Amino acid sequence: MWSLSPAESEALVLSLRVATWSVAIGLPPAMAVAWLLARTQFPGRVVVDGIVHMPLVLPPVAIGYGLLALFGRNGIIGGWLYETFGVTLAFTWQGAAVASAVMGFPLIVRSIRLSLEAIDTGLEAAARTLGASRLRVLATITLPLVLPGILAGAVLGFARSLGEFGATITFVSNIPGETRTLPLALYSAVQTPDGQTLALRFAVLSVVLAIAALIMSELLARRVRRQIGS
């Protein structure tokens, strides 16, 4: 029977914490951006769309370097955070959550945007003609219909965070007990003499978590669709 070693348990718990916080950080702005791209037309919309999806095409190390330049203690934003609030993101697990949120952001936005674009706007228009306010239409029609996309995006972002490596190691390094998530622990095991067995265990654990997250995403989406349909 598989029993986790202290190093595996530590990396697993840290990965789950980082992934959870990355979704919490990324979901609200992702919903706003998805709405902006799906429901509005404005100059520079293509540019905004390109910037949102940039983490999908840029090397993750470049994203991590950009985060370090912005949020490092000597960075533009990071310096202000440290001097004003004493907050440091670089080389902390909170910084790992920020890096994971940035890398998973395009997936969450795309999932929610596709759900928004699939909604029949005639339903919303009909509700408005019957006297429903914009807020009521949003709460009773739009959000329930887009909920499968929100859930799917959140779980995809969670799964993406579990596998994040490049941006994380560049922004927060590979510190045992602080920033060493499962991918970083796997990398460390591979670099260690006679660490193949431990690396294999980390790899299997990562695969199991990723598959579980994807299955959960599909099950949640199906359940919500059934509830909406009924």
Domains located in the chain, CATH noted: 6-229 (1.10.3720.10)
pLDDT at 49: 93
Q: Is 181 left (phi over 0), alpha (psi -120 to 50) or beta?
A: beta
* Greatest pairwise CA separation for the chain in angstroms: 71
Give yes or no for a contact between 89 and 78, defined as CB atoms under 8 angstroms apart. yes
pLDDT at 1: 43
pLDDT at 203: 92
pLDDT at 209: 87
Residue with tokens 């533009």: 76
Helical residues (DSSP H) of the chain, grouped into ranges:
6-39, 45-52, 54-57, 60-71, 76-85, 93-118, 121-129, 134-137, 143-162, 166-172, 182-190, 196-229
pLDDT at 170: 95
Question: What SS3 class is residue 89?
Answer: coil
pLDDT at 148: 83
Closest CA relative to residue 150, chosen from 56, 220, 45: 220
pLDDT in 10s for each residue of the chain, 230 residues: 468 888 889 999 999 999 999 999 999 999 999 999 998 888 989 999 999 999 999 999 999 999 999 999 889 999 999 999 999 999 999 999 999 999 999 999 999 999 898 888 888 888 888 888 888 888 888 888 888 889 889 988 998 999 999 999 999 999 998 999 999 999 999 998 888 888 999 999 988 888 888 787 778 777 766 766 65
